[in-house]
Homo-oligomer: A and B are copies of this chain.
């Protein structure tokens, strides 16, 4: 057990230093390494496999709604970026600029895409002519660059991987419907696959995307009570269409501007998985997204027949469609247990001489630590059931955490006390004035996370200024 202890000791305890705990997991579970370019990251096999599973499942859901994938160039000419006024103001301060191609200076500098609205608009203006061409439902999987000053693995890096959907529609109603449809798709994905419950709502104007008419968001709550914006969906109205001249002839042959949306979800969500589910033993992955769902660990593996039995069980489980790996290294069982726990593999199967004699094995749940003795006969069925159970229980645990850490404030004193001393979401009324958002941020560092779809009238007045208020807002400190 000495080795096990040692391995675990290397992680800082969550309650002691949450930020360090997070960094330790990212490194020890081998998700990421730092790169020689400051603020950029190397995504290692265990981290990338998570992203591949996210991609596979999201992409399938996108395509079911009619979305097609495309690929746009990674460079945006400066003049193109400048076409939509709010957009360029929002992004220009944080883009990377290419000024030379080969040995020659460029005539016009190019930015590395921070997001691709301008490229899609430039493309759509030549691609869309008639109502028959609509809707356009395009998405791309790519990397984007934002020259952030402070960076953290997955959460904020100068380059990150994401998908960005960009759609064009005939009417404002169609665009609004698609905006909400994709937000709901993100929310369902987070809950059903990542076991992360989210609050769905609309961003205030202060927090909306540069160039959008309205931004919608899903907000998740981390273990430390901070919020993580986990996916956003924007309705652009016809603002970009007017800036870029994207028009179509309607059924009466009259020229109309299209209405557009965009929506994105990124590798940042992997940070969410870590901070919603992880514990002091390491990462804890929901079975549906785990690259490896079960690790088989032989006990007294040098005893006759043990490795053979472990291999046989691995094959049986694999044939049943379970993502399984056998740990056949020469490390001790204690080390292997700690390693499997650190990597967040949802289940382990222990098999040794005594188990073989009794015709059984031991299954251990990563989420609860529970040990379950199971007959070898039919073990694949038991494993499937347990994976389902773990998935559901992890979602329930996260829901409970969200509910217990969402509080209501009726006075400003109560509000500041909750924000500063309790962490979590605070629900409170807001008059709609940005000055109140600014004051709250200055007083508490908290921001408005969203105006949730499920509204309540908590009081009649703004938590901050006391003027009449009809909007209930989720407030919180955020990553």
Contact = CB atoms under 8 A, between A and B. Distances in A.
Contacts of A128: none
A458 interface: no
A35 B97 contact: no
Interface string A61-105: 000000011111111110010000000000001111111111100
A72 B123 CA distance: 29
A69 B98 contact: no
Interface in A446-475: none
Nearest to A41: B73
Interface string A50-69: 01100000000000000011
Interface residues of A, number: 51
A360 B97 CA distance: 61
A292 interface: no
B94 A102 contact: yes
Contacts of A123: 33, 35, 42
Contact of A96 (B42, B49, B98, B127): B98
Contacts of A119: 35-36, 42
Q: How many copies does the complex hold?
A: 2
A392 interface: no
A127 B41 contact: no
Given A43-B70, A44-B70, A45-B68, 8 more contacts: A33-B126, A35-B122, A71-B143, A71-B161, A93-B103, A94-B102, A98-B98, A99-B99
Going nearest first, the 9 A-B pairs with the smallest beta carbon separation are A40-B73, A101-B147, A45-B68, A43-B71, A97-B100, A102-B147, A99-B99, A35-B73, A37-B75
21 contacts: A36-B80, A37-B75, A37-B77, A40-B73, A41-B73, A42-B71, A42-B73, A43-B70, A43-B71, A44-B70, A45-B70, A48-B68, A49-B69, A71-B161, A73-B159, A75-B159, A96-B100, A96-B101, A96-B102, A97-B99, A101-B158
